[in-house]
Structure 1
């Protein structure tokens, strides 16, 4: 099966949400929340993510995560991840209770496509008082999601993007084995995983070309994660949210008032040398109206 067929399948029974002038969506991907060890790439940016989540919750945004939210290739236990990052899951649970949370799965958390997994692991989480609180009871993780344009413009198709990567989609059990038992131990002593798309520019460009070509063929706008490379260009058919594991920042895509923007959250310094979390527009806003 080709990458184009795998992408088609991701949207075969996709949930559709309305894209109107009143819509407020924020798209994150590739948080890779881990278990707090040296391999937890999310750990260094957890406070940036928490600040961003609070901002988007307070401003009425719907949070959509495009996969690889949790690092379930390197780590076996989702319960440990929830315990380590319980403050982030607390914020996500608030979005869920408000009906403003939609989660997709990627290759690193592909086990979330199992209803058995979600019923066993997603109903509760340990809060700070060591009591179990409701998390996402009854949640469904999606392979794709469509924002249906109500003003005659192009629909926005959201998925993780690993469908364009044969090794990380069709052969994902082998990839998971290598990451968990080969590359994770080597990463601790300084080696990089050569099979990782995030660390291989040649693979990034090949996958991005496939994703862009699929969007052109389907006459839609495709938004993914997976490559970790943020991308938003005017009149393009392919956008990328970036990730939450950049060295000094996290990136995301905002959609508000039929406009789309690429956003960076980072630490900044005031004139008195105090630190604060800053929101910076990297690209846009561009109109989504035809």
Structure 2
């Protein structure tokens, strides 16, 4: 099956969510939440990510994770991931309990295609303080893709991880997972990069983006938001409407996309030091806001 066919199938079977001018969404992807070990790229941004989640929860945003939230390639034991990121999952629970959480699986958490894995990992957790099992994301489910449908115009925004355009990491994801566990994870600690990953291979990244663009053009310039490549992308209103929220494992920041007041914005959260030498976490606008009507053809 070609990348075009995989993307088309995901679009056809996408979960539908309606929205209007009052709706607020934030999109993050590629957190790669790990076990706080040497190869855990998320560890350095963990508190920054938690702070961002608090902000979006308190400001009534709906959180949509565009894949690769949990790093299930490098880590066989989810319990260790949970222990390292318990405060993150408890904030995700707040979104879930308020029906403001939607999850998409990517290549690194493709195991969540299986509802049994979702139930095993995410429905409950063992609380060592009270020595009891407690509810976490009971009833949560993962989708391959989502379409946000404008309740007024019927036009949509297509959301998916983006590895559908990456044949090796989609078709051979089990092999990729094996190679990461036994080869690239140890080498990553020594400073080597995984050449099969579009996030670390410029040529592969360009190929993935071009395949996605080709599908968009062939489908009436259907607006799309993805992750996977880790490269933030915010096109001009006259360009192909392919957006990318970047990742949460940049060396000194996390990037994401917001939709509010029917406008779309590319943002980053990063650490700054003010004039008094106090370290702060700051939200900065990178691109936008731009009216969605400029992209939803």
TM-score range, shorter chain: over 0.9
Aligned to 1:174: 175
**In the alignment, which of 222, 225, 231 is matched to residue 224 of structure 2?**
222
Report SS of the residue matched to 1:199. coil
Moved more, 213-222 or 249-258: 213-222
**In the alignment, which of 235, 247, 250 is matched to residue 254 of structure 2?**
250
Moved more, 43-52 or 145-154: 145-154
Moved more, 227-236 or 24-33: 227-236
Aligned to 2:101: 101
CA distance in 1, matches of 2:129, 2:234: 41
TM-score (norm 1): 0.97
CA distance in 1, matches of 2:7, 2:191: 34
Runs of 4+ in 1 over 2 A off after TM superposition: 125-133, 150-154
**In the alignment, which of 247, 269, 273 is matched to residue 273 of structure 2?**
269
Report SS of the residue matched to 2:107. coil
Report SS of the residue matched to 1:198. coil
CA distance in 1, matches of 2:104, 2:128: 26
Q: Which runs of 5+ in 2 are unaligned?
A: none
Q: CA RMSD in A?
A: 1.4
Moved more, 70-79 or 153-162: 153-162
CA distance in 2, matches of 1:153, 1:200: 37
Aligned to 2:288: 284
Give 1:118 shift: 1.4
CA distance in 2, matches of 1:278, 1:128: 33
Give 1:132 shift: 3.5
Report SS of the residue matched to 1:205. helix
Question: Are 1:240 and 2:244 an aligned pair?
Answer: yes
Aligned to 2:134: 133
CA distance in 2, matches of 1:215, 1:137: 35
Q: How does 1:108-127 map to 2 (within 5 A)?
A: 108-126=108-126
CA distance in 2, matches of 1:62, 1:259: 15
CA distance in 2, matches of 1:149, 1:277: 33
CA distance in 2, matches of 1:18, 1:96: 17
Once the two structures are superposed, what CA deviation does each residue of 1:27-62 show, in whole Å capped at 9, x if it has no partner?
A: 000000001101111000001100000000000000
Aligned to 1:200: 201
Give 1:127 shift: 5.2
CA distance in 1, matches of 2:176, 2:250: 22
Query: Is the CA contact (8 Å cut-off) linking 1:241 and 1:252 kept in structure 2?
Result: yes
CA distance in 2, matches of 1:126, 1:224: 33
CA distance in 1, matches of 2:234, 2:136: 32
Q: Which runs of 5+ in 1 are unaligned?
A: none
